[in-house]
C-alpha cells in the first residue's frame, strides 16, 4: 500500500489550481479540498447577513457569528465533483459569482476567519491522502506537506481562461474587467498582513501558461512517483 501523501497546491488566482488539484485527487483517490471555496462560502454567509457590502464591513458582527458557519464538501456522483455546502445548503454555484469574488479578498484578510479556516483545513487533513489548493497551504496550513506546488501563469492567459470559463456558463463579462479583477486579487493576496501568498521555500514552481492539463498531469505524476520512491 502506497504511503498517503499531503499535496499542497498554492498560487495565483485563476491559474487552474482547483482543476489540477481535483484531477490529482481523482487519480490518487484522495480527498480534494478547495480552500478558496471555504473563504467564498464564509463571504456569502456574511453578504447575506449584510455584514459586508457596498456600505462597508461590520467586523464585530462577523467575528461574533463565525461559529454559526458550517462548511462541508459533499460528493455529487452525477457530476463527479465535490460541491460546497454552507449550513447544509449547496452553494457551489453562488460562491463563484462576481459579487462574492469582489468581497472574498477582504473577508480572507480577517485574522479570526483565517485561524478558523486553518483549523478546519488541518482537521480535514489529519487522515492524510489529501490534495488541498489555496494560497497558504504549503506555508501555513501544512508546512510539512509531502509535495508543495506553487502555480503561476501570465495575467493575460489567466484572464483569457477565466473569460472562456464564464462564457461557457453563459456569463458575459468584459475581458478587461476580468483582467483588472485578477490583478487586484494578486495584489490583495500578496500584500495582506496575515498569511500573504508566497512560495514556500520548498515548493516547486509550475508555470502552466503554455501547458495543457494533460501535460501538467504528466509533470506531477513524475514528482509523485519520485516522492514515493523516496527521492
Ligand atoms: O482560489 P479562489 O480564487 O477561489 O479563492 C478565493 C479567495 O480566497 C481569494 O481571494 C484568496 C482567498 N484564499 C485565501 O486567502 N487563502 C486560501 N488558502 C484560499 C483562498
Distance 197 CA to ligand 1 centre (A): 10
223 within domain boundaries = no
State how many domains the chain has.
1
CATH of the domain at 213: 3.40.50.300
Q: What percent of the chain has pLDDT over 90?
A: 82
> Residue 1 has what pLDDT?
63
168 within domain boundaries = yes
Mutate to test the pocket of ligand 1, among 11, 20, 32, 39 (most ligand atoms within 8 A of CB): 39
228 within domain boundaries = no
Per the structure, the complete domain to which residue 89 belongs is given by: 6-218
**What beta strand segments (E) does 64-145 contain?**
71-76, 81-86, 89-90, 130-134
Pocket of ligand 1 (CB under 6 A): 13, 35-36, 39-40, 104-105, 108, 134-137, 185, 189
Q: Which atom of ligand 1 is nearest to the CA of 188?
A: 10
Distance 39 CA to ligand 1 centre (A): 6
Residue 214 C-alpha cell reads as 494533460
226 within domain boundaries = no
209 within domain boundaries = yes
End-to-end CA distance of the chain, in Å? 18
pTM: 0.93
225 within domain boundaries = no
231 within domain boundaries = no
Which residues face 55 on adjacent strands? none
pLDDT digits (tens, 9 = 90+) for 93-106: 999 988 998 899 89
- CA–CA distances in Å: residue 128 to residues 18, 33, 41: 18, 12, 24
Going by alpha carbons, the residue nearest to atom 13 of ligand 1 is: 36
114 within domain boundaries = yes
Amino acid at each position: 500500500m502506497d504511503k498517503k501523501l499531503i499535496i499542497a497546491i498554492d498560487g495565483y488566482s485563476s491559474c487552474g489550481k482547483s482543476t489540477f488539484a481535483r484531477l490529482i485527487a481523482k487519480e490518487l483517490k484522495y480527498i480534494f479540498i478547495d480552500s478558496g471555496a471555504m473563504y467564498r462560502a464564509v463571504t456569502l454567509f456574511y453578504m447575506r447577513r449584510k455584514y459586508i457590502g457596498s456600505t462597508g464591513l461590520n467586523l464585530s458582527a462577523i467575528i461574533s457569528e463565525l461559529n454559526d458557519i458550517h462548511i462541508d464538501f459533499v460528493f455529487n456522483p452525477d457530476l463527479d465533483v465535490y460541491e460546497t455546502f454552507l449550513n447544509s445548503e449547496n452553494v457551489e454555484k453562488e460562491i463563484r459569482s462576481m459579487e462574492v469574488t469582489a468581497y472574498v479578498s477582504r473577508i480572507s484578510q480577517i485574522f479570526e476567519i483565517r485561524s478558523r479556516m486553518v483549523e478546519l483545513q488541518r482537521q480535514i487533513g489529519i487522515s492524510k491522502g489529501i490534495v488541498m489548493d489555496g494560497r497558504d497551504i504549503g506555508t501555513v496550513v501544512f508546512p510539512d506537506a509531502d509535495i508543495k506546488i506553487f502555480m503561476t501563469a501570465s495575467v493575460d492567459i489567466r484572464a483569457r481562461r477565466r473569460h472562456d470559463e464564464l462564457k461557457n456558463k453563459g456569463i458575459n463579462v468584459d475581458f478587461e474587467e476580468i483582467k483588472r479583477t485578477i490583478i487586484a486579487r494578486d495584489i490583495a493576496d500578496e500584500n495582506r498582513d496575515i498569511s500573504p501568498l508566497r512560495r514556500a521555500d520548498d515548493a516547486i514552481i509550475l508555470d502552466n501558461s503554455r501547458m495543457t492539463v494533460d501535460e501538467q498531469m504528466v509533470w506531477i505524476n513524475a514528482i509523485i512517483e519520485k516522492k514515493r520512491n523516496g527521492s
